[in-house]
Structure 1
Amino acid sequence: MKLTELTAISPIDGRYRNKVSELAAYFSEFGLIRYRVLVEVEYFIALAELPLKQLEGISDDQKQALRDLYKNFSEADAQKIKDTEKVTNHDVKAVEYFIKDALDSLGLAEMKEFVHFGLTSQDINNTAVPLSLKEGLEQQYLPLLEEIVDELRRYSEDWKDVPMLARTHGQPASPTRLGKEIAVFVERLDKQIAQLKQVPMSAKFGGATGNFNAHQVAFPEHNWVDFANNFVNNILGLSRSQTTTQIEHYDNIAAVCDAMKRIHSILIDLDRDIWTYISMEYFKQKIKAGEVGSSAMPHKVNPIDFENSEGNLGVANALLEHLAAKLPISRLQRDLTDSTVLRNIGAPMAHAVIALQATRKGLSKLLLNESALHQDLEDNWAVVAEAIQTILRREAYPSPYEALKALTRTNTVINKEAIQTFIEGLDVSDDIKTELRAITPQNYTGL
């Protein structure tokens, strides 16, 4: 079968392609090749700005023409490189030849041996991939995630005064407020997003085994460490690892994966809580004309967005777990296991983006059903027992916990009347009774 969205094996390239197509610019084979071209071009230009007589005389127009190779990079360009790779059987070497051809056409043929000068393929891969990951996070993942946090923040404010029965261990517990429970997720996500943003996007750049052997033997007068630090840190906007083997340590990419996993775990927690609130009818969902909730039961409006999100976040985290565990491990100065694994870095990103879109859609469909929250509180007057026994403790009333325990565990129905009757039977002042009678499940919500 010819590859189409219908015949694709992976759902991220099939069923969900329309949701993640923008990620192709970062994590597809096309994207990887384009980032390699970017690094090779910028490295050549950086060399040209050193006092090297072999690279004197390159004009600004020629530099711009070289930068246009990656700025205007096309599928035809990528295919040309892939066709060369069929001959070279080496992907980075094919990129090198592509740029050398461009130098020929720009009248810079005598300089083309300075393309990929002194480098190994990992100097390109271990800058191209972190750069694609950095820009994919900044331009696709984080904006979508922050939209969700902003929506949650609006809900936490809108619902800050809505009382709600809490449930600990699945049982009725001290009442809370819906807005506060949403704010819990806002705080958690804010903190983990900040930690994700603080992880440096590290890159390796130092020749075949990380020591600038070729650079140093050819031009010993130059400080190649300073050159590489400036190139990686300031020109590419990454963070150069100072002491490496042939490849990047990947410790910080592992940290990115772990940070994303924590964010996704929080979102799974959110998805499951909202799913449960929907099942309790605290929320209803906006209905779209023509949509079907069940093939057999016409009445159903299923919380499918939160289910879709939870499933895709689980897949994303499984992949991120492997990336974080595998990438920092390499035999001696280099083995090739990282290469095939690293090519999959876009897969967890894609599943995460699908999930984030689903969560965002699900949140946008929520309709608050305050009557259900109120009725749940009204059906659970036993939760004010904590308040009553705490005030009785304050007043040095004998064994208040035990008295309330006896009330709440022996009466079949604990309603407003049962609580009021209990209060009237207490040996306390009328002022204390008035204070106790004022407590309801709706107002016993704390700070």
Structure 2
Amino acid sequence: MQTDTTYVSPLASRNASPEMQLIWSPRMKFGTWRKLWLALAESEKELGLAITDEQIAELRAAVDKPIDYEVAAGYEKKLRHDVMAHVHTLGEIAPKAKAIIHLGATSQFVGCNAELIQLREALTLIARKIAIAIDKLTAFAAKYRALPTLGFTHYQPAQPTTVGKRASLWIQELVIALEEVEHRLDSLKFRGVKGTTGTQASFLALFGGDAPDQSAHEKVDQLDRLVTEKMGWDPDKRFAVTGQTYPRIVDATVLGSLATVAAACQKFATDMRLLANRKELEEPFEKSQIGSSAMAYKRNPMRSERICGLSRFVIGMTQTAFTTSAEQWFERTLDDSSCRRLTLPEPFLALDGTLDIVINVASGIVVYKKTVEANLAAELPFMASENIMMAAVQKGADRQDVHEVIREHSQAAAQKVKAEGATNDLLERLENEDMFKGIDLNAVLDPSKFVGRAPEQVDAFIKDVIDPIRSRYQEALAYVPELKV
């Protein structure tokens, strides 16, 4: 029972959605164990083992009954073995089938296969949420495809881009992350029925006795295939060989994929935090929301900060998964078990919550257009100096002379801006030079002339890259997350 003296993971209480929590819940885990035992028994019976219809019927009826966790805990305390505790718990409500539950199997028959099913379900949910985040940010990018804004390299003012084009860079990273998750889903394999050290020896003994013939080998292979099919997995996507467990490097690659998603999320949220400081863009801020307990005026980018913090956690968890894979001994060692109880569910819970926040922020980004324009205008004269120089040259001025005049005035104007906090007066300075007489400097400074093909790039990106994603995930796009904090 939950009490106020019991620790509760904030990933569950503050971040992860009910859907992701269900995937990693005891109900999902132990319920899948029961389905695996049923699939194994049914398949063994179909292939000729002495299992009765009555036993199968009883087992099938028991599989979906509520699990008595107190009974299971009592068995585990006595037996010090979680799988056997649940074998006995199931046996109590299916007494006729008790003798054939887990027949020929090792603990990792249920452990590994159930985890692979959980990984598949969790990756599928993550993929859907990435697609939703992409969709929301794409709507934003399309709306502001042509709004010029100051670009940055090295976090120093650089050639202008557009608000929509910058958003397309966030989306591009999420697209790459989605491709990574989809690849991981497509390449995920089922462990199947492999036995204690992966040799299938126990099952060969069941079907062939002391002298197994070719038909016994074929039945064992067919058993592996049947169970895989019954659990809703493509039988051609089974591991051909395993030790006692599926390769733990699978966990590492899955977490690597999650870290890729997290990095894309953190990049987006970091840019949002920087732009909030510049007062150009802002995440949603509700009417009664408090930005600071002390500074009442503040509108802290707390959602973007949460995205960054949770993403950092996901990225950090990859090290444990790779180390666990690297340190497996021969066919299997048990030091993977305790840490995998954390490294499998926790990154999924964290990333699930992260994506919900990304979707929330992307759905309500506030753009302060006048500030965007003012910030660009303050720097644009410096960036337009080459255009101004070319305009003067076309009027007949010497290129080197023009360059020197612009250089001197640019340095002086920049010094006033930095040392005195003055406005950028470069244009006023140049207007007083004879070589610029007759040149409409304001026309040269039209911001739309400095963004290149940014608007067209956004259009093409949406058409060629995003629309197919929207089509694939159409049914998921109406999802609206409910943030807990």
Fold similarity call, TM over 0.5? yes
| Separation in structure 1 between the aligned mates of residue 153 and residue 292 of structure 2, nearest angstrom | 32
Report Cα offsets for 1:177-210 as digits up to 9, x if no partner.
Answer: 0101111111221122122111222343310110
Verify the 8 A CA contact 1:250 1:327 in the aligned structure 2.
yes
**Is 1:171 aligned to residue 156 of structure 2?**
yes
Q: Could you tell me which residue of structure 2 aligns to residue 214 of structure 1?
A: 202
Match of 1:297 in 2: 295
| Residue 131 of structure 1: how far off its partner (Å) | 0.8
Q: Where in structure 2 are the equivalents of 1:28-427 lying within 5 Å?
A: 28-50=25-47, 52-55=48-51, 57=53, 66-67=59-60, 69-70=62-63, 72-74=64-66, 76-104=67-95, 109=96, 112-139=98-125, 141-199=126-184, 200-204=187-191, 205-219=193-207, 220=212, 221-222=215-216, 223=218, 224-232=220-228, 235-237=231-233, 239-344=237-342, 345-380=344-379, 381-387=381-387, 398=399, 403=404, 405-412=407-414, 413=424, 415-418=426-429, 425=435
Structure 2 Cα separation of the partners of residues 419 and 40 of structure 1: 83
Could you state the TM-score of these two structures normalised by the residue count of structure 1? Answer: 0.84
CA contact (8 A) 1:84 1:94 kept: yes
**Residues 233 and 399 (structure 1), Cα distance of their counterparts in 2 relative to 1, 3 Å cut:** farther
| Larger RCO, structure (CA 8 Å, separation 6 or more) | 2
Q: Which moved more, 1:386-395 or 1:76-85?
A: 386-395
**Cα offsets for 1:8-44 (capped at 9, x unmatched):** 2532355x27x44443322234432222222222222
Partner of 1:446: 452
Residue in structure 1 matched with residue 420 of structure 2 by the alignment: none
* 1:55 match: secondary structure: coil
Seen in structure 2, the aligned counterparts of structure 1 residues 68 and 310 have a Cα distance that, compared at 3 Å, is: farther
Task: Using the TM superposition, give the Cα deviation of residue 315 of structure 1 relative to its aligned residue in structure 2, in angstroms.
Answer: 1.5
Secondary structure, aligned partner of 1:167: strand
Whichever residue aligns with residue 340 of structure 1, its letter is S
> Offset of 1:286 from its aligned partner?
4.6
1:199-234 alpha-carbon deviations (Å, 9 max, x no partner): 222343310110111111221323223431443366
- For residues 403-447 of structure 1, give each alpha carbon's deviation from its aligned partner in whole angstroms, at most 9, with x where no partner exists: 55555334444544446667x7279xx9xx679953433431010
Q: 1:435 to 1:292 in 2, by over 3 A?
A: closer
User: Which residue identity is paired with 1:8?
Assistant: Y
C-alpha root-mean-square deviation of aligned residues, in Å? 3.2
2:482 is matched with none
SS, match of residue 290 in structure 2: coil
Structure 1's 68 and 377: CA in aligned 2 closer, same or farther, altered over 3 A?
farther
Question: Which deviations, in whole Å up to 9, do the C-alpha atoms of 1:290-336 show, x marking residues without a partner?
Answer: 32211222211111111111111111221233123323531122110
Partners in 2 of 1:96 and 1:7 — Cα distance? 29
Aligned-partner Cα distance in 1 for 2:283–2:206: 68
Give CA deviations for 1:214-255 in whole Å, capped at 9, x if unaligned.
111221323223431443366342742212211211222211
Moved more, 372-381 or 141-150: 141-150
Whole-Å separation in 1 of the counterparts to 2:175 and 2:403: 42
Taking only the aligned residue pairs, the percentage that are identical comes to: 18
Contact 1:35 1:129 in 2 (8 A): no
* Cα distance, 1:196–1:348 mapped onto 2, change above 3 Å: same
Gaps of 5+ in 1: none
Question: 1:396 Cα shift?
Answer: 13
Q: Contact 1:156–1:178 (CA<8 Å) still a contact in 2? A: yes
Cα pair distance change 1:351/1:73, threshold 3 Å: farther
In structure 1, what is the Cα distance between the partners aligned to 2:401 and 2:115?
Answer: 64
Whole-Å separation in 1 of the counterparts to 2:231 and 2:401: 70
Q: Is contact 2:137-2:167 (8 Å) kept?
A: yes
Q: Structure 1 residues 122 and 67, CA, compared in 2 at 3 Å: closer, same or farther? A: same
Instruction: Determine if the alignment matches structure 1 residue 24 to structure 2 residue 21.
Output: yes
Q: 1: CA distance between counterparts of 2:318 and 2:43?
A: 34
Contact 2:255 2:347 in 1 (8 A): no
> Distance in 2 between the 1:57 and 1:89 partners?
32
Contact kept? 1:245, 1:334, Cα under 8 Å = yes
Q: C-alpha distance in 2, partners of 1:6/1:192?
A: 39
Q: Distance in 2 between matches of 1:255 and 1:419?
A: 59
SS at match of 1:165: strand
Q: Is the 8 A contact 1:293 1:302 kept in 2?
A: yes
Distance 1:115 1:7 in 2: 35
CA distance in 1, matches of 2:346, 2:68: 24
CA contact (8 A) 1:42 1:67 kept: no
SS in structure 2 opposite 1:202? coil
Aligned residue pairs total 427
SS of 2:50's equivalent in the other structure is helix
Bigger Cα displacement from structure 2, 396-405 vs 237-246 = 396-405
CA distance in 2: counterparts of 1:178 and 1:56, whole angstroms: 68
By how many angstroms is 1:77 displaced? 3.0
Name which of structure 1's ranges 120-129 and 217-226 shifts more when overlaid on structure 2: 217-226
Aligned partners of 1:156 and 1:183 also within 8 Å = yes
